[in-house]
A and B are shown apart, each in its own frame.
Chain A
Amino acid sequence: MARGHHDVGGLPGAGPIDQTEHQLSDWEILADAVNQALGAKGIKRTDEMRRAREEMDSAAYRDMTYYERWIASIEAILIEKNILTKEEIDRKLREFDAKWGEP
């Protein structure tokens, strides 16, 4: 029997939940916007995004922040639906990195 890495309700030792508000980064707001746009276009559903998070590598899932999990899920779903390829995403990332990345 295997319990998914997302299914942590009731596990001992997690400690209290940090409920303090924090400022969102620009990229986090963009991640939300892209997510909502894809939903409005009928390209993906929330349930598919949840399933994509559940299927991630467990160590990667634990290491990611909330919105990092979102964009990783979006990437997985877009590739799965043949809307973008991994190569196209990686090529665009290299372009952005060359333009705006750390020197």
Chain B
Amino acid sequence: MGRTLNAEVGKLKPGDRVTVKFEDRPGHLRTPWYIRGKTGWIERVHGEFLNPESLAYGRDGLPKKTLYLVAFNQSDIWGRTSNADKLLVDIYEHWLDPASN
């Protein structure tokens, strides 16, 4: 549904460091609270999808948004330096800014 089988979409590419916007606005927000404001990197470009934040209100979901698999160090999220695991989250492009560092 709404899938474009073309990874050559979007402004970001694998390896780019990104910071999730810390937004809090009314509406259906598709980015969980705990990851807002955190910095990670693009792991993979999933493709373009209808925007669920628009579909949630019965609208058409256009324009489509690029969805990325974004990786984070667990220690950057929870502040626990002992855990070397990564956390992977699907995040739409309009929630991401290039990381400043």
Question: Closest approach, in angstroms, between the C-beta of B52 and any C-beta of chain A?
Answer: 4
B residues 22-74 in Cβ contact with A at 8 Å: 24, 28-29, 32-34, 52-53, 55-58
A-B contacts, CB under 8 A, total: 34
Listed residue (B56, B77, B78) with the most chain A CB atoms within 10 angstroms of its CB: B56
Q: How large is the interface on A (under 10, 10 to 19, 20 to 34, 35 or more residues)?
A: 10 to 19
Tell me if A's interface is mostly helix, strand, loop or mixed.
Answer: loop
Residues of chain B at interface, number, CB under 8 A: 14
List residues of B whose CB falls within 8 A of some A CB.
24, 28-29, 32-34, 52-53, 55-58, 77-78
7 closest cross-chain pairs (CB), A and B: A10-B34, A51-B56, A47-B56, A47-B55, A51-B28, A47-B52, A1-B24
List residues of A whose CB falls within 8 A of some B CB.
1-4, 7, 9-10, 45, 47-48, 50-51, 54, 81
